Structure 1
Amino acid sequence: MVQIDMIDRVYAHWAEFLGCNYSDLIVPNVKVLQHSKSLDGYNGIYTFSNGISCIISAPLKYVPVLGKAVRNLGPAVVFDAEWLSQSLDGKHANIIGPTFQGYIEDDSLLQTSPSSVIKYKSEHHRTLLEELRDSCSEIEWQHSSIDEEKSSILLQILHGKVVAAGSWIKGESGFLSVGIITHPAYRGKGHAKTIVNALSQRGLTSGATMHYQTLESNTPSVAIAQSLGYKCLGRTIAIRFSM
Structure 2
Amino acid sequence: MGLSSRTLWTLRRYWADRLGVPPNAFEKSGGTAGSAEEGGIQLFSHGDSLVVGVPDPLLDAAEDRSETVVSLDTEDEDAVHGWLTRFDGIEQAIGPTFYGYVDRETFTPVESDARVLTAADTAAYQAFQRSIPDSEWDQGGTQFTPGETVGLFVDGELVAVAGFDVWEGLLAHLAVVTHPNYRGHGYGQIVVSQATERAFADGLLPQYRTSDAWPWSVALAQDLGFHRFATAYFGVYQQ
Q: Which TM-score tier does this pair reach, normalised by the shorter chain? A: 0.7 to 0.9
CA deviation after TM superposition for structure 1 residue 157, in Å: 0.5
Does structure 2 retain, via aligned residues, the 8 Å contact 1:100–1:214? yes
Does structure 2 retain, via aligned residues, the 8 Å contact 1:99–1:216? yes
Q: Provide closer, same or farther for how the CA distance between residues 150 and 71 of structure 1 changes in structure 2, counting only shifts above 3 A.
A: farther
Distance 1:239 1:158 in 2: 40
Q: Provide closer, same or farther for how the CA distance between residues 177 and 114 of structure 1 changes in structure 2, counting only shifts above 3 A.
A: same
Partner residue, 2:59: 63
Does structure 2 retain, via aligned residues, the 8 Å contact 1:13–1:173? no
Does structure 2 retain, via aligned residues, the 8 Å contact 1:105–1:208? no
Q: Does residue 150 of structure 2 align to residue 154 of structure 1?
A: yes
Q: Provide closer, same or farther for how the CA distance between residues 135 and 60 of structure 1 changes in structure 2, counting only shifts above 3 A.
A: same
Distance 2:128 2:50 in 1: 39
CA deviation after TM superposition for structure 1 residue 107, in Å: 5.5
TM-score by length of 2: 0.87
TM-score by length of 1: 0.86
Q: Which runs of 5+ in 2 are unaligned?
A: none
CA deviation after TM superposition for structure 1 residue 196, in Å: 1.0
Distance 2:106 2:74 in 1: 36
Partner residue, 2:219: 223
Partner residue, 1:105: 103
Partner SS for 1:10: helix
Counterpart mapping for 1:15-164 below 5 A:
15-36=16-37, 39=38, 42=39, 44-74=40-70, 76-77=72-73, 80-88=79-87, 92-106=90-104, 109-115=107-113, 117-123=114-120, 125-149=121-145, 152-164=148-160
Does structure 1 retain, via aligned residues, the 8 Å contact 2:102–2:205? yes
Does structure 2 retain, via aligned residues, the 8 Å contact 1:54–1:75? no
Distance 1:75 1:172 in 2: 33
Letter paired with 1:132? F
RMSD of equivalent CA atoms: 2.4
Q: Provide closer, same or farther for how the CA distance between residues 163 and 134 of structure 1 changes in structure 2, counting only shifts above 3 A.
A: same
Q: Provide closer, same or farther for how the CA distance between residues 87 and 51 of structure 1 changes in structure 2, counting only shifts above 3 A.
A: farther
Partner residue, 1:209: 205
CA deviation after TM superposition for structure 1 residue 75, in Å: 5.9
CA deviation after TM superposition for structure 1 residue 14, in Å: 0.1
Q: Does residue 7 of structure 2 align to residue 6 of structure 1?
A: yes
Q: Which runs of 5+ in 1 are unaligned?
A: none
Distance 1:111 1:46 in 2: 31
Does structure 2 retain, via aligned residues, the 8 Å contact 1:107–1:201? no
Query: Which whole-Å deviations, capped at 9, do the CAs of 1:169-221 have from their partners, x for residues lacking one?
Result: 11115121211000111111111011111112232244432111111111101
Distance 1:93 1:73 in 2: 18
